[in-house]
Structure 1
């Protein structure tokens, strides 16, 4: 595992994106346990993209405009749904309320779908991972799985860190109804903006 790969992967994981925003929003509104569930979901959502890259399916997405557009607009629709759901959620939040198992499962599922429905992620892995392979065809698959596993582990740790930070800020945010309103609007705008950005992405 080269230092170059670890440094590059860390920069990619730390960069604010849809998963980071989703984890922060979840941590602020529902606490640390929910943020961890979001991090788990976002991390597991990487698996299909990683496997697609290893099996060469990402190349199909890149070559087929129709396949790319179908996955892309499913992702756009889901991000716009998250924006709408964030805006309409006006229920009071409690610092003492612990999310139920069903709620945590739903949070994790949404986190996974954010990455599963992003076709650029598969193409990213197809372009990113091969740069750090040894060059031996016999070990290429094992090496990509190893690199992908490390990338997923880094994603989980960093996202839990983001979510924990957001959860610690809950008491300050929840004490101000105005802050809560602007927080919901900001996260809804972020989801909508990321959805629109994805809509204009090209394979």
Structure 2
């Protein structure tokens, strides 16, 4: 029994919710932007993530994963470009945290005054690049989605759109939540320089780890 070509809908809902809640470079970047520059900038970053995810979903539907498998060299190029970019974002966050801690100012306040240093002057573009430069996301989306699409359904685009809408709705709610959380954290950390620097350093370290993880990823 399927729902417009979607098999086991509630299992998919639970799985999609778990996937969205797992921390990743997209959500951490949006949280950092909201903490440093406020709710409006946070939603600009969320818009970049949303557009990037939409593009990845469209590429998945068009068979991008098969293309990457057919041409391993293309996967290697995209993989290392994505890894380098994530690591670059992380290193800049770490450097900014150290500089502002030595200067005795809040990392959150300083990030607003020196946005280019921490890669937050164009949150939409940055978030879009972070979202797109991850070929493993395409492969993951394909392997996850196909489990819940009835191959005998007459119009495969319908269940794909339903599944896409569900995961994007979860993402919108989740990103909105962490944006307001980030703005609240900014208020709490303004007078706590060490805590603020520690948070920025932790996020920067995670971005470097994301880059290393992506650089070591394979198609298998």
**In structure 2, C-alpha distance between the alignment counterparts of 1:179 and 1:149, rounded to whole Å:** 37
The CA deviation at 1:165 is 1.2
Normalised TM-score (structure 2): 0.81
The residue that corresponds to 1:144 in the other structure is: 160
**In structure 2, C-alpha distance between the alignment counterparts of 1:105 and 1:176, rounded to whole Å:** 24
Unaligned runs of 5+ in 1: 98-102
The CA deviation at 1:153 is 2.0
Alpha-carbon contact 1:37-1:104 (below 8 Å) kept: no
**In structure 1, C-alpha distance between the alignment counterparts of 2:146 and 2:88, rounded to whole Å:** 34
Unaligned runs of 5+ in 2: 4-8, 113-118
**How is 1:114-133 mapped onto 2 (pairs within 5 angstroms)?**
114-133=130-149
**In structure 2, C-alpha distance between the alignment counterparts of 1:179 and 1:150, rounded to whole Å:** 36
Alpha-carbon contact 1:28-1:169 (below 8 Å) kept: yes
**How is 1:1-203 mapped onto 2 (pairs within 5 angstroms)?**
2-89=9-96, 90=100, 93-94=108-109, 106-136=122-152, 138-203=154-219
Larger Rg: 2
**In structure 2, C-alpha distance between the alignment counterparts of 1:182 and 1:68, rounded to whole Å:** 35
Q: How many residues align?
A: 199
CA RMSD of aligned residues (A): 2.4
Which ranges of 4 or more aligned residues in structure 1 deviate by more than 2 Å? 87-95, 134-138
Cα 1:137–1:3, aligned 2, differ >3 Å: closer, same or farther? closer
